[in-house]
Amino acid sequence: MSYIDTHRFNAAFLANRLDRLADLITAQGAAILHRAGLHAPPRTISLLLLVGDREQISAADAAKLLHQPHQLVTQRADILVSLSLIARADDPVDGRRKTLTLTPKGRAQYQILQICLQDTARAFATLFDEIDSDLDALVTKALQALQKKEPGGTSAAARRKYDLQLAADNPNGTCSHCAS
């Protein structure tokens, strides 16, 4: 346990604790994937899955569907290209765009991934039983609730606009609750 875990205001550091949980899941998942013969890094798996499910998709469309920044998806695509799991090709409809497709090696890895995802779903079901909570459902509910309450919308630009307005309203750097 960290200092934050035992602090009386530990709930205020939920993002810190969730990051640590995500890192632990990613590390344990990497071991599972490696043992199964999957060679893609864990944080590229969602893109590999999406490309396999869609057969052909642009990085921009993948970013939208994965709710990830385009640059991050492009970086992860570069990793998968370097591993010869996906390939970039000219978009048959729009020559300015490139699409991502699985290579033969990528298709084989995609098949392994399908089995791994079934095993992972069973492992999480066991964990959820152990902790007596469906963490996946709770995360979904929390995301939906916070997105509804987020000032100015959910985009990064909207958040920056809100932060700038907050700073302009509070030039001494304190919020209205903290101002004395």
Tell me: the pLDDT tens digits for 126-170?
Answer: 999 999 999 999 988 988 888 887 665 555 555 556 566 666 666
With a cut of 80, say whether residue 7 has pLDDT above it: yes
Q: What is the CATH number of domain 3-129?
A: 1.10.10.10
Share of the chain above pLDDT 70, in %: 83
Residue identified by tokens 């609730």 is: 145
How high is the mean pLDDT of the chain?
Answer: 85
Give start-end residues of each CATH 1.10.10.10 domain in the chain.
Answer: 3-129
